[in-house]
Structure 1
Amino acid sequence: MDQPLLRIQNLSVSFGDTPAVQNASLKLARGTTLGLVGESGSGKSVTALAVVRLLAPGAKIVGGSIRFDGQELTTAPESTLRDLRGVRIGMVFQEPMTSLNPLHVIEKQIGEILEIHGMASAQARRARTLELLKEVGLQNAEARMGAYPHELSGGQRQRVMIAMALANNPDLLIADEPTTALDVTIQAQILDLLRDLQKRHGMAILFITHDLGLVKRMADEVAVMRGGSVVETGPTAEIFANPQHEYTKMLLAAEPQGDPPPADTSAPEVLSADNLRVWFPIKSGLFRRVTSYVKAVDGVSISLRKGQTLAVVGESGSGKTTLGLALLRLIRSEGPILYLGQNIDTLGANKMRPLRKKLQIVFQDPYGSLSPRLSVAEIVEEGLIVQDRGLSADERRKLVARALADTGLDPATMDRYPHEFSGGQRQRIAIARALALDPDVIVLDEPTSALDRSVQAQIVDLLRALQDRRSLSYLFISHDLKVVKALASEIIVLRDGKAVEQGTAAEIFANPRAKYTQDLFAAAFDL
């Protein structure tokens, strides 16, 4: 038999004295896909980073072997690794905002990879960049080539990362949660794209994910990791039909359960907007005159009631996040916004400040929203320092500990820094920061997208319990319709800044009227 393209044997990686991967063994044949599955902190990403020797400072390989196409990588010189990275081995990282350079446009970043590895012609680089962006389904690809990362949505940024990884047609693609930030229809497109590229180029894929639905659809073989060790491997069909390890059985059973509270139209209105608009001007010409507008939110009306969850659903770029930011007065908008009957869209910064304690947000990208220079305790207590000046340091620390415990984190870890936590743990820190201020309304912008399924279920249960206990109101922005179904009482479906359908969750899930909503549901529940 031909040797595997990638063979990992008894790999061990440590962060100082703390083991992160212990005696892990994997193999990946040419032209096949290996799904590497496990919860946050299981060692999946560390194993992948070890392959290309891009481990974080302080981490080191302490044992085992990594062979790529017969060549040992654990002892290979840096020059050999540079020749492999981005050419024979491509990688899609989990958090695109931290991987893309905020100072350069998309065209330059993709073109740089092509230039480093031999494409000298600027015209050829531009053509290849445009081809890649179209392949990964980026809308208005030619216009987007001149965009900076902050001008793209989370899903759009992830698609750019995938384009960069595929730029030089690698033999091995390491995809670390490549569809985490993407809505369900684009998830399906990306999976189809990866499979098509795999067939055409014979590319092997190491597909790292917490979503077992994607693994079932994508992978030929599955390896399950827990606590840094591989606990079960085998063909995908066998693992799903007859899992042997208890941990694998738990992962397969993990889905958000239960039903949300029914929509209560008699509950008092907490936050509302009427015909809300957020238009971004497009300027051109020598004098930079406004020639058109990007209508990110175009005439949307919403009503969020006390103790209820309103889910905002739609594809990347549909205006979901922009709507949430506008409602909290974090970006400019037109149209009345009412909080507890008070018109807040005309309030200045000073008058809005006292209200911000009660209007909180959890951002989509926790790594980008958590300061790397502050400890977890300092991050969570930041709002308390601003809003509750009378609290002592000990009182703030107790509130921080309570918020962390509420989100399933050990309060004893509060003096650690964000980089010491997994992606899922960082998202829980972001949720704890919002909860610490005891708000009335929380805008949750994809709060479970970075979490594995078992933790998603825990967070859904937590959010429901907190809502019941504190009568919280959630504006829940998500592309994960399984989570929406478990949490939302009402739904509004956005497309290109407009509401195409809205109503109670029970009605919309039972009988979606708009073709766009039907397509979203079909993609979500067929995956």
Structure 2
Amino acid sequence: MSALLEVKGLNVSFRQDGRISQAVRGVSFTVNRGETVALVGESGSGKSVSALSTVSLLGDSAIVEGSVTYDGQEMIGASEQRLMDVRGNDISFIFQEPMTSLNPLHTIRKQMAESLALHQGLVGAAALERILELLVKVGIRDPETRLDAYPHQLSGGQRQRVMIAMALANKPDILIADEPTTALDVTIQAQILELLADLQREENMGMLFITHDLGIVRRIADRVCVMKAGEIVESGSTEEIFANPRHPYTRKLLAAEPKGRPDPVPAGAEEVARTDHLRVWFPIQRGFLRRTVGHVKAVNDASISVRAGETLGIVGESGSGKTTLALAIMRLIGSEGGITFRGEDVRSWSTRELRRLRKDMQIVFQDPFGSLSPRMTCAQIISEGLAIHKVDPHRAPRELVAEVMQEVGLDPATMDRYPHEFSGGQRQRIAIARAMVLRPRLLVLDEPTSALDMTVQVQIVALLRDLQRKYGLAYLFISHDLKVVRAMSHKVIVMRQGDVIEMGETEALFTNAQTDYTRSLIAAAG
């Protein structure tokens, strides 16, 4: 079997502020026709840089040395015209977040038509026929109704399917998939992986699959290359790597899975939050007079309870109402039904009355970079709420910041750095510190680990357990990662299309799910 893509002794460095930093050192691997090679490792290990080097997509600051051949032809130093011919035609990319890869100002029809016109010269009816054929192939239902949709009008899974359709439009020999399922629900993730495997078999493509999730690697890859600090530290068949990992770093990655269970909820623990028949319906308005013609039932009749020291896991696919339910409990969006916080009915409270409760209800979001101001230092971010809520006014804010940074595992000496100077896991710790400095009673954790490497996930789960044990925190833990939910939660509710379809103790629900939908979620999580 001849190697379609061969990388030998690849070195990549970047010039920045007069300095040169090396990102990739001596990387070598091959991708054969019809096989999947996985590049795995933590963020910053050089996976994406290695992949982007194959067709010179790294920009002018990059210094690339070594050899990259596609179908026997050297790509490093190739003419721009040769690279343009290969990019998107012979070697195609799918990236992690389709919202940043698709143009938000153009319809799906226009974006796909541009690619077909550029690479195949297809226009008009011929292009439309090919677009519809591709959308059907990647599992978009009723593609005719989606042609004139903009990216924001599609779900995450649909956007990723469109990206796959665009990548396959020109029948590439090699597909490079860079974390293509990280931001997706478990059921959608399973569908996308199955789709990629089917398409690969049909087209006999080679695939370079970049991920930090070894569960996905086991399911999809033929061979694995493990990267650390810019180098491949171990490679071999998937079966061999999983059965007999030789390098300590590989063993560390394989062991990086949230384990154990949370501490039992103390007897007689206070009920922190409760909802009774809560619903959030958004009106659908049409016509010149904006008459209400129906409702989007984002949350429909949800009755839940969470106590001090208890974690309530909330699971379900995107759009099921998980985050909407949490925001309604925090009184950040309007709702109907009962909301009780620490024994007080807060449903009818005014904004002024709610202000005294705000410090007791805090939230940590999925993307720690997007939720932290890039113009503020770590100290400014963490201390911002102290003055607003007048927390411990007799102590210096920097003293409180240093204390909470130590508590979440950050070095107080770094408090004057900006978010971009921290790793993803450190940024998530800053977000947790920002919430914890106010000493809340209820913490909403909205996908707090899904953007993080597996080893960092384990650390964040351990940190959250420690904080809950120390302060008796009540958690609403929203996630599509059922392994993390199982490790964190005392009780779990399953949501689908706004309805709570199942609720129960975590172990009982995972071992004896009562609905087909819950069983499908658990099966998709592997």
Give the deviation of 1:92 after TM superposition: 2.5
Identify the match of residue 48 of structure 2 among 37, 45, 48: 45
Code of the aligned partner of 1:478: S
Contact 1:259 1:486 survives alignment (8 Å): yes
- 2:283 aligns to what? 281
Code of the aligned partner of 2:271: E
Within a 5 Å distance, the mapping from 1:31-42 to structure 2 comes to 31-42=34-45
- 1:22 aligns to what? 25
Which ranges in structure 2 are unaligned for 5 or more consecutive residues? none
Give the deviation of 1:265 after TM superposition: 7.7
Q: Structure 1 residues 211, 151: CA separation in 2 closer, same or farther (over 3 Å shift)?
A: same
Give the deviation of 1:402 after TM superposition: 4.6
Give the deviation of 1:391 after TM superposition: 6.1
Q: Structure 1 residues 54, 325: CA separation in 2 closer, same or farther (over 3 Å shift)?
A: farther
Distance 1:83 1:386 in 2: 57
- 1:475 aligns to what? 476
TM-score w.r.t. length of structure 2: 0.88
Q: Structure 1 residues 357, 167: CA separation in 2 closer, same or farther (over 3 Å shift)?
A: farther
Query: SS in structure 2 opposite 1:270?
Result: strand
Q: Structure 1 residues 286, 458: CA separation in 2 closer, same or farther (over 3 Å shift)?
A: same
Contact 1:263 1:490 survives alignment (8 Å): no
Comparing 301-310 with 348-357, greater Cα deviation is found at 348-357
Within a 5 Å distance, the mapping from 1:384-403 to structure 2 comes to 384=386, 386-388=388-390, 395-403=396-404
Identify the match of residue 333 of structure 2 among 328, 331, 348: 331
Which ranges in structure 1 are unaligned for 5 or more consecutive residues? none
Distance 2:256 2:214 in 1: 9
Query: SS in structure 1 opposite 2:336?
Result: coil
Query: SS in structure 2 opposite 1:335?
Result: strand
Give the deviation of 1:415 after TM superposition: 4.6
Code of the aligned partner of 1:41: G
Code of the aligned partner of 1:94: Q
Within a 5 Å distance, the mapping from 1:276-355 to structure 2 comes to 276-285=278-287, 287-355=289-357
Code of the aligned partner of 1:23: G
Contact 2:8 2:26 survives alignment (8 Å): no
Query: SS in structure 1 opposite 2:274?
Result: strand
Comparing 259-268 with 22-31, greater Cα deviation is found at 259-268
Contact 2:10 2:64 survives alignment (8 Å): no
Q: Structure 1 residues 332, 415: CA separation in 2 closer, same or farther (over 3 Å shift)?
A: same
Give the deviation of 1:210 after TM superposition: 1.4
- 1:498 aligns to what? 499
Contact 1:407 1:459 survives alignment (8 Å): no
Distance 2:135 2:399 in 1: 48
% same residue: 58
Q: Structure 1 residues 271, 203: CA separation in 2 closer, same or farther (over 3 Å shift)?
A: same
Query: SS in structure 2 opposite 1:503?
Result: strand
Code of the aligned partner of 2:185: D
Identify the match of residue 58 of structure 2 among 37, 51, 55: 55
Contact 2:278 2:337 survives alignment (8 Å): yes
- 2:11 aligns to what? 11
Code of the aligned partner of 1:303: S
Give the deviation of 1:70 after TM superposition: 3.1
Distance 1:73 1:404 in 2: 47
Q: Deviations along 1:277-318, whole A, 9 cap, x unmatched?
A: 222333344554332322221111111111110000112222
Give the deviation of 1:214 after TM superposition: 0.8
Query: SS in structure 2 opposite 1:215?
Result: helix
Distance 2:382 2:160 in 1: 28
Q: Deviations along 1:28-87, whole A, 9 cap, x unmatched?
A: 112211111112222222222333434378x52353233333333332344444443333
Q: Structure 1 residues 351, 130: CA separation in 2 closer, same or farther (over 3 Å shift)?
A: farther
- 1:370 aligns to what? 372
Code of the aligned partner of 1:492: I
Give the deviation of 1:2 after TM superposition: 2.0
Contact 2:64 2:76 survives alignment (8 Å): no
RMSD: 3.1
Code of the aligned partner of 2:29: L
In the alignment, does 2:221 pair up with 1:219?
Answer: yes
Within a 5 Å distance, the mapping from 1:377-526 to structure 2 comes to 377-384=379-386, 386-388=388-390, 395-419=396-420, 421-525=422-526
Q: Structure 1 residues 51, 337: CA separation in 2 closer, same or farther (over 3 Å shift)?
A: farther
Distance 1:140 1:328 in 2: 38
Distance 1:364 1:196 in 2: 31
Comparing 452-461 with 109-118, greater Cα deviation is found at 109-118
Comparing 39-48 with 250-259, greater Cα deviation is found at 39-48
Distance 2:310 2:40 in 1: 34
Give the deviation of 1:134 after TM superposition: 5.4
Distance 1:84 1:171 in 2: 10
Give the deviation of 1:131 after TM superposition: 5.4
Higher Cα Rg: structure 1 or 2?
Answer: 2
Distance 1:103 1:263 in 2: 50
